[in-house]
Every structure is written in structure tokens, then in C-alpha cells.
Amino acid sequence: GAVVSQHPSRVICKSGTSVKIECRSLDFQATTMFWYRQFPKQSLMLMATSNEGSKATYEQGVEKDKFLINHASLTLSTLTVTSAHPEDSSFYICSARFLAGRETQYFGPGTRLLVL
Amino acid sequence: GNSVTQMEGPVTLSEEAFLTINCTYTATGYPSLFWYVQYPGEGLQLLLKATKADDKGSNKGFEATYRKETTSFHLEKGSVQVSDSAVYFCALSNNAGNMLTFGGGTRLMVKP
């Protein structure tokens, strides 16, 4: 149980285009989802926290207009990287938490984004 | 604020060797503690957790004990395998579970 999927697993795009990454909880309802960014050989950096049906809360230094987060249902959150640039290339990982197991986050497999 | 400190890697061991990865934390209140493992090119998988002092989390031969007196949560395994090669992250969450604070990660390499 507690499986989280992400799609796509890899994406390559041209500079200036927008990319949407989906995060789904497959067998539970996720009241809260988190988006992280991970640079090579580094730890995870929390970008934002989203609760179903409300606006995401962004961490300091993360541009909300650049990284659009939507959490429209209890099983789906999306991260859209708008007008992507090469410096946005990174590994993006989502996690989900359900109310009953509130101290545990379950992570998706990650999405590797390469902006040319 | 909360912080997690892990021993720097990489840690290189021979198969069947004993593993210890140190983790210490600073936190207010009574956090929950976690170890996550990340295999190459993948996301994080929850390895084990402990939610209160003196709890021992265990899974797949790995163990870690929540030591409040030393604010530590060291990861141990008696006999590592090549398949254990990965990056291990220690983390804590506050009482509300709203946010995970991660350590820097420790890369483990096990040689046959």
C-alpha cells in the first residue's frame, strides 16, 4: 500500500516551453502532497506543500509563478514548470501523506527534467 | 529550527560487513524520525521509522533506535549486500508532520 506514481519519469524540453509533472497517490487519498527538488548528489529541497482544494504554500526562494502547483483532487497534484530554462533542469520528486498516517510521507519515483 | 546531520560519504564496505551510518538531530518537541533509501535514478523509499524515544525501527535487516538523550538515530545493519548500495537519508518531522527535514544523505557502496 501507499504507492505514489509520477509521470513522466523523464522529460526533455526546449528552453521557454512549459512542462507539467503529475503526482498520483494510487491506493490512498492524499490530503497533503509535497514537491521537492534534488540536485545531483545533494539532499532534497522542499519547494512547496499543497493541500487538496487550496493554494500551495511555497518555501522561501521558490517562485510561485514559475512553479505552478495544483492539487485538484485527493489523488492528484501537478507541478508545472513555466517557461523552463536550463537552470530548471533537475530531479523533481513528489510525496504524499494521508490523514491517518500523518507523520509519514510516501515518495514518488521522481521526474528528471532536462531543459535544452 | 530543526536540523539533521549525517556522516558524510561515501561509505565503502565489502559484502557481509557491518554498517553504521550516524545521524544526529536538533529539534523542538518530540519529532518522529525516519530513514529513507534512494536507489540510483529513483525516488525515496521509506526504510524505517520511529515515533518516540527508545523506539526501534527495523526493516530488511536494518535497524535504528530513537535515542533522545543523545539526539541520535543511527542506522545499522549486521551484514550488508551489494544490493544495499544506495543513498540513505535520515529525516525528522515535527509533531504536525507537516514538513520533513532531511540530512544531506550518505552514499553507501558495497563491493562483492
Half-sphere exposure for B77 (CA within 13 Å, toward CB): 24
pLDDT in tens, B29-51: 889 999 999 998 888 899 999 99
pLDDT in tens, A54-76: 889 999 999 999 999 998 888 99
Residue A101, pLDDT > 60, answer no
Q: Tell me what percent of the residues of chain A surpass a pLDDT of 70.
A: 95
Residues of A in contact with B36 (CB under 8 A): 107
Half-sphere exposure for A105 (CA within 13 Å, toward CB): 32
Report how far apart the first and last C-alpha atoms of chain B are (Å, whole number).
41
Give me the pLDDT at residue A100, please: 59
Sequence-ordered list of residues with C-beta below 8 angstroms from that of B38, at least 6 positions apart, any chain: B44, B45, B86, B87, B88, B89, B105
SS3 label, residue A84: coil
Give me the pLDDT at residue B22, please: 97
pLDDT in tens, A21-50: 999 999 888 888 999 998 887 888 899 999
Residue in A34, A43, A112 nearest the CB of B104:
A43
Chain B nearest C-alpha distance from A6 (Å): 10
Residue A94, pLDDT > 60, answer yes
A18, burial (CB in 10 Å: exposed 0-12, middle 13-18, buried 19+) = exposed
Distance CA(A90)–CA(B39), nearest Å, equals 17
Residues of A in contact with B96 (CB under 8 A): 102
The answer to whether the CB atoms of B98 and A49 lie below 8 A apart is yes
Give me the pLDDT at residue B2, please: 85
- Residue of A10, A25, A41, A103 to mutate for B, most B C-beta atoms under 10 A: A103
- Which one, of B51, B95, B4, lies nearest residue A44 by Cα? B4
